[in-house]
Structure 1
Amino acid sequence: MHRSISYDVAIIGGGPAGLGAATALGRSRRSVLVIDSGEPRNAPAEHAHNVFTREGTPPRELLVLGRHDTDPYDVTHLDDRVTGAQHQEEGLSVTVASGREITARRLILATGVIDELPDVPGLADHWGTQVLHCPYCHGWEVRDRRIVVLATTPMAGHQAFLFGHLARDLTVVGPAVDEIEEESRRQLESLGYQLISTSVDHIESEEGRLVGVALTDGSTLPADAVTVAPRSVARAELFLDLGGELEEHPMGGLIIPSDPLTGRTPVDRVWAAGNVRDIAAIVGQSHADGVRIGAVVNADLVMEDAVRAAG
């Protein structure tokens, strides 16, 4: 195993949150290592939206630009996969697949989440293009289209209201239709949306494009887009290695627990930033959260140094 020099902060995850934290820390004269495995949550999407000055930029291009933002500072980028971590007397050590061991005084987890889709044949084939979950990420692109909301959780009602505002025609379908609150169902029907409690059999495609939703009763709903609420689970193997435990997010899914303001987790010297602690955060929010957590971690290091200097 090759041993590397120690850094002030190691950041796991080079997405918007991780790069935001790296920039804030780099500008605070901290030595930073960003380790990224190259698996961004929004990789299937063609463009990112609601990003200040970068509206419509492809997600991977945003990451290239974000890396360049750190060029003036003492920030190193390592394309690798973390395989383990453990506490040391004055920090933590992290091992990566290439065999290196990295030590750092502080650790920021910006690893994002994995979106677990319902087990519907054909659904994953269109994820991020015609199968969507966020109206603020993709809603404009499917305006005035036929949209089908897959009701797999009670969240389907919330999605129906938001996407229905954009759609030409909207149908909510699936067993969880019956789990939507009665008043919400009444409101949705009053808006002209169709509610069907029949189960979905598969997604129909033609020439690589989604064209309909086939139901178990043999009927098919024509569709230009489908919305669904995935179960989002934090990429938290490292956090669990260090003795942490995940918690349920109010919207469903599992996140790393952390202080809402500071991002500090219950695990000593470990912070969380971005989707790993808030599955609903879009690109701009995740980046802003990373900047804030970077500032918090820098302040923590400043005070540790001050206490140490005072004896």
Structure 2
Amino acid sequence: MTDTATAGRERAPAGLFGRIGAQNISLLIALVVLLAIFGVLRPDVFFTPRNLINIGLAVTILGILAMAQTVVIVSGGLDISVGSIVGLSTMVLAVAAQETGSIPAGILAGLLAGLLAGAVNGLIIVYGPVNAVIATLGTMSAFRGLAYLMNNGNSIPITGDSLRALGIGTLSGLPFAIWLLIAAMAAFIVFTRETVVGRNIYALGGNPTVLASRTMSGQPASGSQGLELEAITAAILGGCALQGGKGTIIGAMLGVLIIGVLNNGMILTSVPTFYQLLAKGALLILAVIVQERQRARSGE
């Protein structure tokens, strides 16, 4: 094993999943401040168990995408197509479930569709060779168009108690979807820390299918609701360097929680939709500015 490879392997756990550093502490402080602000503005609703669970449910899809995006950014890439892949995956899940009459078969088909779409991105980037941003910008449009073509732009309802249970069922008082997010987080950490492939991951984005169990339908437009922006924002908030080589799963999840609390709080306080979009865009710009200034100070 070369010295470079050895050094890379030794740095990976510390760089990706080390102890809580200044970045994560800053995120925790920002999260606490947001919680305090919205708790004061809506004390009757915000800290109720139901609303806190609503926040958790709202970030399950974003959390999984942000963790995948973190791995992609750490490897030096950027996947803009993740939202479109989610939409395509849910449509494939719905069609397969209808055709086979089997929810498990539908879920498997949806997962395979997400993996195949990620593989297409990887092949274009590696063998094109095409810049990751340009490649996934193109496939974002292509995958979204394919999702629309599957049922002329209409959603496809899914019936099945097993899928409904995954979306709204609970275990020990928490929804299954939140447990799934926790399991995915643990899997990402183990995969990145303990496997050779994880430590040398390339810019391939495979996207698990979670959205269909929440909406009980295949949604061709489900990738059009800003998931790409939010996943990238969460990853960058969590400390991912756009140049690659730096970022943590824990940081990404803190970024997801900040976005989730911000979204929930703005809805509870009746902030108009266009102001919500402005806040999300400003958050991404601020995160990039802070990151670039930190990088300049460190001389990287």
Normalised by the length of structure 2, the TM-score is: 0.24
Structure with the bigger percentage of strand? 1
The structure that has the greater radius of gyration is 1
Higher relative contact order (CA 8 A, sep 6+): 2
Structure with the bigger percentage of helix? 2
Normalised by the length of structure 1, the TM-score is: 0.24
